[in-house]
Amino acid sequence: MEKLKSPRTGGILVLCAIIAILPAFLSNAFQMEIAILIFFNAIVCIGLNLLIGYGGQISLGHGAFVGLGAYGSAILSMGQGWDPLLAMVIAAIFTGVLAFVIARPILKLKGHYLAMATLGMGIIISIVINTEDQFTGGPDGMYVDGLSFVTKQIHWYWIIGALLIFSVWASLNLIHSPIGRALRAVHGSEVAAEVVGVDTTRFKVMIFVVSAVFASVVGSLGVYYSNFVTPDIAGFFHSIELVVMVVFGGMASTFGAVVGAAILTTLPQFLTFLHDYEHLVFGLILMLTMIYLPKGLVPTITAFFKKGDKS
Amino acid sequence: MSLLKVNDLSIVFGGVKAIDNLSFEINSGTIHSIIGPNGAGKTTLFNLITGVYTPTTGSILFDDEGVTGFKPYELAARGMSRTFQNLQIFFNMTAIENVMVGAHLHLNRGFLASFFGLPQIKKGDQYCRETCMELLDFVGLKKYADTDTDSMPYGALKRLEIARALASKPKILLLDEPAAGLNPAESREIDEVIKKVAERGITVVLVEHDMKMVMEISDHILVLDYGRKLTEGTALEVRNNPDVIAAYLGG
């Protein structure tokens, strides 16, 4: 029991400490902005990691779910004048229902076919956002009022930081429950999972919906934070970025998703001198990760220390 | 009393009748073996019974309920579990976790309770871990409990599959070549495990090539050849049947 608990609670405590101390080291609004962006990305990645890392299903269209949350909130709060938080909840429910409807046929596919189907889904949603300009403002994007009661950047920092800690905690809870084991079993062997009573389709659909809702909520909050949204958020590159973060940080590792998001959100800031070659470097990182760290950063490091213990 | 009843079962794969009008019954509380030459349709029959394949024609009754075309997880909920000829282990988990997945149907699977890590989930897991540990002990794998399955020996994984199937608390357990690829010592260990499973009152259906094992532990033997029933009966009856000898030796 001790063994089960310590890495979980320990990891969460370390994360809390980092989030608590970090503002003292951030000297300007731009750095604070990057920190908040890391939190946003990390939350999406935690949800996506449940799908990719634990459930063993790929999604190359998760940017679209972030986009649906963002535009759902933008349209409902600005166009319809709804309360922003209500708009966020409705957008999340809508995204969840859409993910549910899409998931049934899509998750019957495996491997490349599933990748293609999710890719196509993402592109379709992205096209709709781009072309329905009477609602979305088209490629120019939309201005959105923020949350009236959160005005200072540091308040955003604490809110999103707290949400990140909650997401890590909930994700770990889920993994270490019968649902989490069933999910990993689906990844391990679908037929073996079925014969001990796991309805594999149900679990695949469930986790697809959960990860879509994570993405949608982040999309909504992101748009309230930045007061602006463009179709890029739902685009192909955003989807790929999210997958790279998960794979780089470590599949089937909740903390890996956070670390992956942190490193790959910060990295482009140091690579700005490369201008147009940024995507090239991103691709290179993915390739090198797949070759030298196929299990991702965090699981590789953990395995290294475990080995050290034994010898 | 018959626990499983198969009536006129057939399945066609692109013109080949892999199972051809097969009917038989399996009585509760027995060890029932299915034997036959390579390609006789033994594994196909297992896949039909456990819902991995859907039969072309015919019906299957389990516990007096028509279960033809049911999904494997629906059959698992009614008390049917199996192991696989080619290992189907969850290699991304430890041994004990593999067995705990087996107990899936008997645990609280509420989403919100799991998401918020409510005490009843943790308590249930704690209890599940203990009972699964007993099952690991039962198949002789207690020392491997927290070992990652990808670093366990083949023979141990074969027994792990049995422990996982038992965790689902089946009435009937189908074992597809549990001794395949094992050395004689490991084979004997599996032998003992199967006997102990039957002693627990679980009906065992066995596909096996190890004739010594089959003849020794089976109450009843069904012989298949080209998807048809060649004969069935006790070990003695089957052993002396000229058709069986012909099918195995060619004649």
CA distance A229 to chain B (A): 30
**What are residue B65's phi and psi, to 5 degrees?**
-120, 135
Find the helix packing angle between A236-249 and A278-292, rounded to 10°: 30
The mean pLDDT of B133-154, rounded to a whole number, is: 94
What is the arithmetic mean of pLDDT over A124-140? 91
Band of pLDDT at residue B61, cut at 50, 70 and 90: very high
Q: CB burial class (10 A; 0-12, 13-18, 19+) of residue A166?
A: exposed
Determine, for residues B73 and A174 on separate chains, whether the beta-carbon distance falls below 8 Å.
Answer: no
Distance from CA of A275 to the nearest CA of B (A): 40
Half-sphere exposure of B138 (CA within 13 A, CB side): 24
Shortest Cα–Cα distance, B84 to chain A (Å): 8
- Note the pLDDT of residue A173: 94
Instruction: CATH number of the domain at A266, please.
Output: 1.10.3470
Residue B194 or residue A271, greater confidence: B194
- Interface probe for A, chosen from B96, B111, B114, B147 (most Cβ of A below 10 Å), is B114
Angle, to 10 degrees, between the axis of helix A200-226 and the axis of helix A153-175? 170
Q: What is the ipTM of this complex?
A: 0.90
Q: How does pLDDT run across A27-72, given as a tens digit for each residue?
A: 899 999 999 999 999 999 999 999 999 999 999 999 999 999 999 9
Query: CB distance from B164 to chain A under 8 Å?
Result: yes
Distances (CA, A) of B232 to A100, B17, B105, B235, B242: 49, 20, 35, 9, 13
pLDDT of residue A309: 57
Residues A210-267 pLDDT 10s: 999 999 999 999 999 999 999 999 999 899 999 999 999 998 899 999 999 999 999 8
C-beta atoms of A178 and B52 within 8 A: no
What does the pLDDT average to over A103-107?
A: 90
Helix-then-strand count for chain A, H and E: 14, 2
What are the tens digits of pLDDT across the range A11-32?
Answer: 999 999 999 999 999 889 999 9
A242 near A41, Cβ under 8 Å? Answer: yes
Instruction: Give the separation between CA B222 and CA B32, rounded to whole angstroms.
Output: 8
A-chain residues near B150 (CB < 8 A) = none
Residue in B with minimal Cα distance to A173: B117
Q: Give residues 117 to 136 of B whose Cβ lies within 8 Å of A.
A: 117, 121, 124-126, 128
Q: A228 phi and psi, to 5 degrees?
A: -150, 145
Instruction: Report the pLDDT value the prediction gives residue A279, as an integer from 0 to 100.
Output: 76
| Cα A229 from Cα A233, distance rounded (Å) | 7
Is residue A243, in this structure, part of any structural domain at all? Answer: yes
Distance CA B71, CA B69 (A): 6
Residues of A whose CB is below 8 A from B111: 179, 206
What does pLDDT average to over chain A?
91
Task: Please tell me the distance in Å from A298's CA to the nearest CA on chain B.
Answer: 16
- Tell whether A71 is covered by a domain: yes
Distance CA B105, CA B85 (A): 24
Mean pLDDT of B133-139: 96
Q: List CB contacts (< 8 A) between A184 and chain B.
A: 90, 92-93, 97, 101
Q: Is residue A87 part of a domain?
A: yes
pLDDT above 60 (res A6) = no
Q: Say if CB B194 and CB B203 are below 8 A apart.
A: no
Chain A residues within 8 angstroms (CB to CB) of chain B: 1, 3, 169-170, 172-174, 176-182, 184-185, 187-189, 191-200, 206, 252
CA torsion B126→B127→B128→B129, rounded to 10°? 50
A93 vs B249 pLDDT, higher one = A93
**The whole model's pTM is what?**
0.91
CA–CA distance, A245 with B217 (Å, rounded to integer): 55
Task: Give the least confident one: A155-164, A212-221, A280-289, B151-160.
Answer: A280-289
Which helix or strand (DSSP H or E) is residue A265 part of? helix A254-270
Q: Is the residue at A13 inside a domain?
A: no
Strand blocks (E) in B68-126: 80-82
Task: Report if residue A22 sits inside a domain.
Answer: no
Q: Number of structural domains, chain A?
A: 1
Task: Dig out the tokens for A35 from the structure.
Answer: 């920190």
Chain A residues within an 8 Å CB radius of B77: 197
**Confidence grade of residue B251 (pLDDT, cut at 50, 70, 90):** low
Cα(A49)–Cα(A52) distance, rounded to whole angstroms? 5
**C-alpha separations of B77 from A199, A311, B25, B198 in Å:** 10, 44, 21, 20
> A11 lies in a domain?
no
Is residue A10 domain-resident?
no
Helix (H/G/I), strand (E/B), else coil: B58: strand
Which residue on chain B is closest to A177 by alpha carbon? Answer: B114
- Residue B95's pLDDT is 96
Please tell me the predicted confidence (pLDDT) of residue B250: 67
Contact A176 B77 (CB under 8 A): no
Torsion sign (Cα): A131, A135, A137, A139 = negative
Q: Do B108 and A179 touch (CB under 8 A)?
A: no
What pLDDT score was predicted for residue A120? 94
Confidence of residue A308 (pLDDT cuts 50, 70, 90): low
- At B74-133, the pLDDT tens digits run 999 999 999 999 999 999 999 999 999 999 999 988 899 999 999 999 999 999 999 999
So what's the pLDDT on residue B175? 95
Q: What percent of chain B has pLDDT over 90?
A: 75
The alpha carbons of chain B give a radius of gyration, in whole angstroms, of: 19
**Could B104 and A181 be called an inter-chain contact, meaning their C-beta atoms sit closer than 8 Å?**
yes
Give the integer Cα–Cα distance in Å for A17 and B91: 34
Nearest chain A residue (CA) to B108: A178
- A14 lies in a domain? no
Q: The domain containing residue A52 runs over which residues? A: 31-310
Q: Which whole number is the average pLDDT over B240-250? A: 82
Q: Which of B47, B73, B133, B169 to mutate to test the interface with A (most CBs of A within 10 A)?
A: B73
